[in-house]
C-alpha cells in the first residue's frame, strides 16, 4: 500500500532483510557519544544513509564543522565532512525518525549518586522517537545502551501504550547491546560480535542482516529482548568480579611478603586461568556501573546478588586502600603529610583514551588531599577542564620537579615511556608507586627510585 503512494516505505516489511543486505535503508542514531558516534560512522561506512542526533550543541557544532567532539583520538580521521552524502546531523529526533527506517538509541545509562540505575535518557529518547514514529510504519527502534533485563519492556512499552502505538503494527522494538571498546582499534564497532533480542523472531532474524553489514564478527538472534539485555550486563559483571579478585589478592599477598604479580603470572601458565591485573581501582562508564544494574534487577526479584555486590565493594574501596599505602610510604620516607607533593601520571580511567569518567584517580587524589597532601597530574590525553578543581595540572612533564612521590595512575604509553631517570633527578623524594603494574620495579630501583606498586610488598 505504502509503495503505491510513490514514497519509499519507511520501516519494517518483508523486504527489510534484502534492503539491509543492499544497504538500502536509512538508519538514525540517537545519541552521538563514545558509542553512538562510532556506530553512526560505521553504518555510513557500511553504505547506509545515516542520520545522527544529539542534544549537545558542542557535539552538533563540532560535527557540523567536520570535527571530532570526543576524546578518542582514533576518531579524529573518521569524522565525515559535513557535506558528505548519506550523513545528516541534527538536534531533532523527530526529523531523523521521520526520515529513517531504523532508529538506534545509544544514550547513556549511568547510575545516580545513590548508585541506582538512571534510565531517564532511555525513557526520553524512546519517547521522542515513538512520538514521531507515526502509525502503521513499523519503524524499527533498537536500544543499544547497557541496561538490565526488563528495561526495554518496562521503559518503552508503556510509552507505546500511552501513544496508542502497537508493537508489530506501528513499531518494531529490539535490543542489541553495544560492545564497543573505547581506544581499542581491534574491537571497534566494526569488529565486535553482536547479539539481537526481539519479541518477533522474523524481525529479529532480519536485523541480523542489518548488523552483519556493520561488523565482520558473529551476529546472531538470541531470542526475546531480555536475553540480549542480560547478555551485555553480565559480560561486564563478570569482568568486575574478575578484577575484584586480583584487587583483593593485591591486598592479601603483600602481607605474606609475596608480590601478587609473581603469583598471577605463575598461575597464568595454567591453560584456563584468566589473567587480570590489580590497579588503583576500576573506572569507566561500563565496568563500575553495569553491576549496579544487575544488582537492582536481582533485588527486584528478591534474589540477593551477594557476589556481584561484594566484588563491586572491593573495587570501589581500592582507591582508599591504595591511599593508605601511599600515606605509609610517604611517612616512612619522612615526608610530612601536611605539605607532601604527589604527581599522578595519567588521570584517565583507562590507558590510551582521554576519558575521566569514574576514574579511580579522582577518589584516590581526594583521599590524599584530605590529609594535607597536594596532588598534581599529567595526562596527555586530557585537557585541563577534564581535571577537577584542586588538582594542579602539569602541562610539560619534563618541567615537573620537587615532588615527593610519583603515582602511575593510568598506563598510557606516554606515561610508561617517559624519561624516568630525568624525573627521578628532579624529585624532592624519589618515591615511585606503579598503580597499574606495568613498570619494571627492579629497573626503577636501579635508577634511584624507591620503587613500589599495587600488590607488591612495598618496602620503600
Q: How far is the CB of 179 from ligand SAJ (least distance, A)?
A: 4
Angle between helical axes of 260-267 and 225-252 (0-180°, round to 10): 130
| Residue least distant from ligand SAJ (Cβ) | 284
Catalytic residue among 100, 198, 286, 415: 286
C-beta of residue 432 within 8 angstroms of C-beta of residue 444: yes
| Cα–Cα distance for residue pair 213/383, rounded to 1 Å | 36
Catalytic, 198? Answer no
- Cross-strand bridge partners of residue 221: 196
Q: Which helix (H) or strand (E) holds 434?
A: strand 431-434
CA distances from 72 to 77, 78, 119, 382, 458 (A): 11, 11, 25, 10, 35
Q: Name which of 12 and 253 has its Cβ closer to ligand SAJ.
A: 253
Q: In the block, which residue shows the cell 547491546?
A: 177
Q: In the block, which residue shows the cell 513499523?
A: 138
Q: Name which of 21 and 235 has its Cβ closer to ligand SAJ.
A: 235
Nearest CA among 54, 53, 51, 78 for reference residue 67: 78
| Cα–Cα distance for residue pair 57/90, rounded to 1 Å | 10
Q: How far is the CB of 114 from ligand SAJ (least distance, A)?
A: 22
SS (H, E, C) 225-288: HHHHHHHHHHHHHHHHHHHHHHHHHHHHHHHHCCCHHHHHHHHCCCCCCCCCCCCCCCCCCCCC
Q: Name which of 20 and 280 has its Cβ closer to ligand SAJ.
A: 280
Q: How far is the CB of 340 from ligand SAJ (least distance, A)?
A: 25
- Give 171-219 as a DSSP string: EEEEE------TT-GGGSTTSS-EEEEESSHHHHHHHHHHHHTT-SS-E
Q: How far is the CB of 334 from ligand SAJ (least distance, A)?
A: 31
What residue ranges bind ligand SAJ (CB under 6 A)? 178-182, 184, 235-236, 239, 243, 276-277, 279, 282-284, 286-287, 349-350
Q: How far is the CB of 360 from ligand SAJ (least distance, A)?
A: 6
Q: How far is the CB of 434 from ligand SAJ (least distance, A)?
A: 13
CA distances from 353 to 181, 183, 283, 334, 361 (A): 10, 5, 12, 36, 14
Which residues carry out catalysis?
286
Amino acid at each position: 500500500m505504502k509503495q503505491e503512494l510513490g514514497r519509499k516505505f519507511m520501516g519494517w516489511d518483508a523486504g527489510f532483510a534484502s534492503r539491509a543486505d543492499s544497504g538500502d535503508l536509512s538508519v538514525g542514531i540517537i545519541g552521538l557519544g563514545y558509542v553512538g558516534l562510532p556506530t553512526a560512522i560505521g553504518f555510513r561506512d557500511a553504505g547506509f544513509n545515516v542520520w545522527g542526533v544529539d542534544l549537545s550543541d558542542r557535539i552538533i557544532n563540532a560535527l557540523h564543522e567536520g570535527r571530532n567532539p570526543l576524546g578518542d583520538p582514533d576518531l579524529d580521521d573518521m569524522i565525515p565532512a559535513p557535506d558528505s552524502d548519506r550523513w545528516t546531523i541534527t538536534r531533532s529526533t523527530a526529523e531523523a525518525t521521520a526520515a529513517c527506517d531504523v532508529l538506534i538509541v545509544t544514550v547513556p545509562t549511568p547510575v545516580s549518586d545513590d548508585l541506582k540505575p538512571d534510565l531517564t535518557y532511555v525513557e526520553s529518547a524512546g519517547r521522542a522517537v515513538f512520538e514521531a514514529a507515526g502509525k502503521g510504519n513499523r519503524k524499527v527502534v533498537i536500544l543499544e545502551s547497557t541496561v538490565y533485563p526488563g528495561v526495554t519492556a518496562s521503559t518503552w512499552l508503556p510509552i507505546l501504550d500511552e501513544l496508542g502505538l502497537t508493537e508489530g503494527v506501528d513499531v518494531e522494538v529490539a535490543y542489541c547491546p553495544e560492545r564497543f571498546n573505547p581506544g581499542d582499534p581491534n574491537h571497534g564497532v566494526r569488529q565486535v560480535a553482536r547479539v539481537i533480542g526481539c519479541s518477533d523472531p522474523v524481525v529479529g532474524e532480519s536485523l541480523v542482516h542489518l548488523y552483519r553489514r556493520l561488523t565482520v564478527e558473529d551476529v546472531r538472534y538470541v531470542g526475546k529482548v531480555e536475553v540480549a539485555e542480560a547478555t551485555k550486563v553480565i559480560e561486564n559483571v563478570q569482568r568486575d568480579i574478575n578484577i575484584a579478585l586480583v584487587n583483593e589478592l593485591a591486598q592479601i599477598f603483600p602481607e605474606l611478603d609475596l608480590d601478587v604479580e609473581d603469583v598471577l603470572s605463575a598461575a597464568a601458565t595454567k591453560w584456563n586461568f584468566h589473567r587480570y591485573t590489580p590497579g588503583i581501582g576500576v573506572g569507566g562508564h561500563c565496568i563500575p556501573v553495569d553491576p549496579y544494574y544487575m544488582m537492582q534487577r536481582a533485588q527486584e526479584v528478591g534474589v540477593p546478588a551477594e557476589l556481584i555486590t561484594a566484588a563491586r565493594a572491593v573495587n570501589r574501596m581500592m582507591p582508599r586502600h591504595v591511599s593508605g599505602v601511599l600515606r605509609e610510604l610517604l611517612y616512612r620516607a619522612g615526608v610530612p603529610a601536611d605539605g607532601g607533593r604527589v604527581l599522578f601520571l595519567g588521570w584517565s580511567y583507562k590507558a590510551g583514551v582521554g576519558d575521566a569518567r569514574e576514574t579511580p584517580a579522582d577518589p584516590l587524589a581526594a583521599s590524599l588531599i584530605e590529609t594535607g597532601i597536594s596532588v598534581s597530574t599529567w595526562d596527555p590525553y586530557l585537557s585541563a577542564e577534564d581535571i577537577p578543581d584542586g588538582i594542579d595540572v602539569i602541562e610539560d612533564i619534563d618541567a615537573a620537579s620537587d615532588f615527593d612521590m610519583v603515582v602511575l595512575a593510568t598506563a598510557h604509553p606516554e606515561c610508561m615511556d617517559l624519561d624516568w631517570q630525568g624525573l627521578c633527578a628532579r624529585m624532592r623524594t624519589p618515591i615511585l608507586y606503579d598503580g597499574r603494574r606495568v613498570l619494571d620495579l627492579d629497573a626503577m630501583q636501579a635508577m634511584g627510585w624507591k620503587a613500589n606498586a599495587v600488590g607488591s610488598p612495598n618496602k620503600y
